[in-house]
Amino acid sequence: MKFEHIIEVNQEQAAGAIVLTAEALWFGLMVRVQDPCRFLPGINHCTIERCAPNHVRRTLHSGSAIIYDEAEWEAPHWVRFTARTQDGGTAGTHTIRILQPEDGTLALHFHYHTASTPQTGKDGIDYAGFIREAWRQADFDTVRTIRELLAASGTAN
């Protein structure tokens, strides 16, 4: 299954909300790499297994479930998370790319690709639509969490 969408980061700011710069946004994405528990509900522990320039291998714990993934990036342009199957194969990827069009806007492009495609169940539920909406909401939550993190640290600009 493939899914992608764009979030304009500084669009329709609430009064008093900080305007994010590309540098601040990149900082937030790198915090997401190092500390996914802040960004992913249900992940209660993360172990960085291997760290190299532009790449980390992580083990994420969610209750009794264990998720193996890797994050790689090209600063300050994109970060890609690759979830691994138990035998080391690719279960799916999630890429976040910073977009800075010439009109001065700032956006994040989110792209998902998984090996499987959920089907509509016998109960009539559109599982693929449900997953796409969950991803979209998680991405809005990522932007919100970055904004909160930067506001608390005073490093938004």
Determine the pLDDT at residue 126: 79
Percent of the chain with pLDDT over 70: 90
Per-residue pLDDT band for 43 (boundaries 50, 70, 90) equals very high
pLDDT digits (tens, 9 = 90+) for 70-93: 999 999 999 999 998 777 778 899
pLDDT confidence tier of residue 156, bands split at 50, 70 and 90: low
Whole-structure pTM value: 0.89
CATH code, 87:
3.30.530.20
Indicate whether 64 belongs to any domain. Answer: no
Residue 39: predicted pLDDT: 94
How many domains in the chain? 1
Amino acid at 78: W
In a domain, 46, yes or no: no
Whether the per-residue pLDDT at 157 is higher than 60: the answer is no
Residue 94 pLDDT class (50, 70, 90 cuts): very high
Q: Answer yes or no: is 48 within a domain.
A: no
Q: How far apart are CA 105 and CA 80, in angstroms?
A: 22
| Encoded tokens for 114 | 């998984």
Query: C-alpha angle with apex 138: 65 to 78, nearest 5 degrees?
Result: 95
In three-state form (DSSP H/G/I as H, E/B as E, the rest C), the secondary structure along the chain is CEEEEEEECCCCCCCCCCCCCHHHHHHHHHHHHHCHHHCCCCCCEEEEEEEECCEEEEEEEECCEEEEEEEEEECCCEEEEEEECCCCCEEEEEEEEEECCCCCCCEEEEEEEECCCCCECCCCCEHHHHHHHHHHHHHHHHHHHHHHHHHHHCCCC
| Assigned domain for 112 exists | yes
pLDDT at 12: 61
pLDDT tens profile 108-129: 999 999 887 666 667 777 788 8
Percent of the chain with pLDDT over 90: 61
> What was the pLDDT predicted at 87?
75
Domain containing residue 113: 2-41+73-153
